[in-house]
Structure 1
């Protein structure tokens, strides 16, 4: 997220002003970084959280799958020699990133995850994350694998409808998928505005609507292309493995699907009895996390007024206990079976 380094330092500070990290004060209060501690920023972006953690005196292992974010972070890294380690990787592999920097048995004091697309990525039309400006229908955070254009032009209509319905909560999912199937047979979709305009022409736009009619479809495509829900699930389990007793896990989400996953994870990791309520004997599970905040914390009214992106944000946090990690089981998140986007590049 993101004397004398001269122009490099000024450029980094300028990026920080343009890309304000959401709920920064609340994140730092829950994370409580201190000198001598080691923190993981699993979603580096423009370096907003990382910079504040460094200023509190802690060391940071910062991860991002976007090579442009890593390259842009070099100026921050140069300003904190030995205390910032940039790793180009998926945050679902944050335990592997820690091992690559500190060794296989090292445990960290805190992990912070800001889930969702970076405002830097949205602002770059050539990345294809938004239809605010026309650009290629891409949406890949890493620049690798299947693009949104591959998904739209090659997946079956039924699969598209399921993706739009579940990942975007789009009520016109079936209609939009049928329209795409018919249109792509004549001319494939390759540009963001082309797809957005086609959706608007199909479903119409009420002047009272707060969002464009293509917004939920674009969200669903972005989440699917980057496997964002799968990444979040694996990242939560990785954080459980890599945090030391007393370590803090802080997660900021921006829509209900993500928040429900984090809420379910912390509830499951609170321990208690496992198994079916119909079975007479069940195993006792020792908690791997205890709550660090009560429920979900939202942004302040002042932040909502100045940063529209913060309005849907929710923060949840937990403290790692001394008990071993619980089952490494993705089924607890209740994710649906969806097509594999990577298959599109292999077929």
Structure 2
């Protein structure tokens, strides 16, 4: 009993030490400047879930299904994007997110969560390890940081991302976009900025495709072969070119397609099969000759009989 109690007493302080260490890292003693909340549907791996980590750090409040939130709610159910005009709402009532898997978004009862100020996020690129480099696929802490940055609190965004080793990458990847959005005023200007950015992306992609096409069609350099235009492919050596010429000559010497093998994929006969066919053709020719001259043997036989009779008469 004493031994078991000893183990129990050792285990409990260890959990307290972990909690204390997380609290110290989070700076819970100095409260975060804005309220943060989430509806957690337990879709994600707790070890990789950014919302759960914020909860362990004491930085975010969990909300129940059916419970509404008075601040800005970053949600796919929103109609307008978050914009600088939402700054007062964020400062007074904070921001909330929906902690769920993108793959199971259809399972979320959006009619039972949310609030008066539901907002979409404009075009941004994820930096989290699960969806790194994918547009729109932000996790909870990225969504909160984006909301803070767009409403004029880049310092809050940086602070909440400090608790994640990859957090700084989100601000670096989206630095230009976040600056662009923060200089807008209302939802309409955010939409216009987003559309202009997406048009620019599309135009850049089109130009790259055209440049690639020109590169592929134009060969490698003056005097180089045009049929070696694949990126990374080296031009042929001199020996390769001579080999190609020999192949072309051999191809010219090859007989034309045999019409007796008209079915696609059918191979010509082997040499043994060809010789057998030649023999059979010779036999057929002999038979044809015999059929063409049926009295040939009979003529020779008649001549022999006449010679024999003439000899007999001379003897007599």
Considering Cα pairs closer than 8 Å and 6+ residues apart, tell me whether 1 or 2 has the greater RCO: 1
> Per residue, is there more strand in 1 or in 2?
1
More helix by share: 2
Q: TM-score range by the shorter chain?
A: under 0.3
TM-score of the two chains, using structure 1 as the length reference: 0.22
When Rg is computed on C-alpha atoms for both structures, the one with the higher figure is 2
